[in-house]
Amino acid sequence: MLDVIKLLPDSVANQIAAGEVIQRPASAVKELMENALDAGATQIDLVVKDAGKSFIMVTDNGCGMSETDARLCFERHATSKISKAEDLFAIRTMGFRGEALASIAAIAQVELKTRRKEDEVGVRIINEGSVVKEQSLVPMQPGTTFSIKNLFFNVPARRNFLKSPQAEMRHIVEEFTRVALMNPETSFTLTSDGKEVYHLYSGNLKQRIMGLFGSNYEEKLLPVNQDSERVCIHGFIVKAEYAKKTRGEQYFFVNKRFIKHAYLHHAIENAFMEMIPKDCFPGYFLNIEVDPADIDINIHPTKTEVNFLDVKLVYAILHAAVRKAIGQHNLSPTIDFTETPDLNIDFGEASKASRPLVMPNVPVDEFYNPFRQTASSQDFKPKSYEFSQHSDKPSGDWRQHYGERIDLPFKKGVESDTDGDKPENSHYLQVNQSFILTTVKSGIMLIDQQLAHTRVLFEKFLKQMENHNGASQQELFPQAMTLNLNDASLLKELLPELENIGFVLEQANPTTFMINGTPTDAAGCEPVELLEKILDNYKINRTDLQLDRKLDLAKSLASQLSIKAQTKLSELEMQNLVDQLFACNVAEVAPNGKKIFAIISMDDISNFLNLKS
């Protein structure tokens, strides 16, 4: 019998290894930008075409490589960062395993041009599928340029699994943001399909956050600074009033390396407890400096997960640092005991002696009788009486009093398509300014006014998106809405559906939209806040299916624009709402699956009264 185990060819082994490191164009962008930082670059330029599928180029002004190093860098596990196993616990560079360039070269056509400052000319190497095709000398400025063409050209199955250009570009922007965020001393540019998306100048962390996420972040940020012997934490948190319903702006770094850590995230959530709603998330941009010996970053192919030697200590310091930042910046009440205010009071003995004694005067109504109804007490009308059609005073009989005042319209409704339980030509009563009470043939119907209006608006918006006939009201003063690049890309995706339901938006630049009109149902709403909530909801339920996208958009907008509980309605408004509800295709349940109304039968009412009597 022949042996069945054999060694794989290097080309196949490299492709398998590349699948762990290079999952999409954004993965290659991350590796090349991190290499540029490790080379000491102060200027890094990223250029992509077709969301990185056809072309990626990263240029830096770092230290460059010699001709020998340029040839060797494409070999697997060839690295200048470590030489022995102990070095794994003293790593301060972004890359160290020597896998990135070998993985990229295994699945793309790569051109490398590099030159050291002490060399007169640079070296140019062309590598395709882990095979060096050409090597030559080339005149160039000191630094390195990596050009990647036709990513996954020899792995078509992997290429077919890539998402749409918009989705892949969002991943590239996210990786660009993670690398640029904690390196504000380095200048960065990002150019996509010939258009400059970001031009970030060197500066401090706050300026970098504003450059990436918008100038409006200047008023949203609170500084966090905490130094201790084992852990130092620096960065910014977002004020509680700007918390969002998505986890978009949450950035943890350890020694300037982006990480994901649910346990540490809980420390920040706990620090913001009772300051933000339960369905919102705090934003933060924090770097945790620890001794490299206290962490293990070699536990995940993308190095986004780390192990801490004492994670509970980091948790405690992080929680305390965030609470301190919140307290110092008047999000929590603070009292300053360092200064004594001048109350202009003289406590001297002479002042006391000259001060006349005055008997305190407490006003008392001698004729007050708590058991007697006065004119003022008769003028008070509780909410239970607001639908009364009587002007008589309450009598001594409480049954007669409440029966007359509320005037429940017990009368039979007209036969309908819903087993005789559709209210028609009936009276309406609002209960607790949240529910509509009316009579039907079989008894009493109780309708949740918010859920009912949500169902009405949901079906209305769906119909408008299908028929492209949403009504719009023009804004007297158009408002500007500035977003980060990813959110701007999402809003651009939603533009057709938003315009169909009445929004009139104009893109002024890649990250700014002018709101010229809003749906007529959005009267009185803040347009910018409304669109931000739509985007947050869309990010939570994002899907590539157009039908699901329309459903989610209609559901989100309907839930935001529907009348809320504790909203007073006139009888005509209640009647119109009930009529619109029972004209819907699905009148029984709201878009979120909750039951809109309940019917209490006459038998149930009789049984209840008999039990109580």
pLDDT confidence band for 322 (50 / 70 / 90): very high
How large is the average pLDDT for residues 412-432? 58
pLDDT confidence band for 93 (50 / 70 / 90): low
pLDDT of residue 113: 95
pLDDT of residue 551: 85
**CA–CA separation, 248 vs 242, rounded Å?**
12
Class of domain 10-203 as given by CATH: alpha beta
Residues 6 or more apart from 434 whose CB is under 8 A from it? 448, 449, 450, 565, 566, 567
176-185, 196-205, 360-369: least confident range:
360-369
Considering the chain, tell me which residue range(s) the CATH 3.30.230.10 domain(s) occupy: 207-328
pLDDT of residue 210: 92
Q: What average pLDDT does the structure give for the chain?
A: 79
Q: In whole angstroms, how far apart are CA 357 and each of 29, 353, 362?
A: 83, 10, 16
pLDDT of residue 78: 65
How large is the average pLDDT for residues 298-311? 72
3-7, 318-322, 399-403, 479-483: least confident range:
399-403
**CA–CA separation, 536 vs 525, rounded Å?**
17
CATH code for the structural domain at 387-613: 3.30.1540.20
Stronger pLDDT, 519 or 78, i.e. the higher one:
519
- The pLDDT > 70 percentage for the chain reads 76
pLDDT of residue 344: 40
Looking at the predicted structure, is the pLDDT value of residue 497 above 60? yes
Say which amino acid occupies 173.
Answer: V
DSSP per residue over 457-483, as a string? HHHHHHHHHHHT---EEEEEEEEEEE-
Stronger pLDDT, 381 or 286, i.e. the higher one:
286
**CA–CA separation, 30 vs 172, rounded Å?**
8
Report the run of H or E that residue 373 belongs to, with start and end: none
pLDDT of residue 19: 60
Looking at the predicted structure, is the pLDDT value of residue 412 above 50? no
The CATH architecture of the domain made up of 207-328 is 2-Layer Sandwich (3.30)
pLDDT digits (tens, 9 = 90+) for 147-181: 999 998 888 878 888 888 888 999 999 999 999 99
pLDDT of residue 97: 54
Looking at the predicted structure, is the pLDDT value of residue 95 above 60? no
pLDDT confidence band for 205 (50 / 70 / 90): very high
29-33, 324-328, 367-371, 515-519: least confident range:
367-371
pLDDT of residue 436: 92
pLDDT confidence band for 43 (50 / 70 / 90): very high
Buried b (16+ CB within 10 A) or exposed e, 278-294: eebbbbbbbbbebeeeb
How large is the average pLDDT for residues 319-335? 73
pLDDT confidence band for 336 (50 / 70 / 90): very low
How large is the average pLDDT for residues 297-326? 82
Looking at the predicted structure, is the pLDDT value of residue 294 above 80? yes
pLDDT digits (tens, 9 = 90+) for 457-474: 999 998 888 888 888 888
How large is the average pLDDT for residues 206-213? 93
Q: Are 307 and 299 in contact (CB under 8 A)?
A: yes
Considering the chain, tell me which residue range(s) the CATH 3.30.1540.20 domain(s) occupy: 387-613
pLDDT of residue 236: 96
Looking at the predicted structure, is the pLDDT value of residue 378 above 90? no
pLDDT confidence band for 243 (50 / 70 / 90): confident
pLDDT of residue 450: 93
Q: What is the pTM of this model?
A: 0.68
Report the run of H or E that residue 444 belongs to, with start and end: strand 443-448
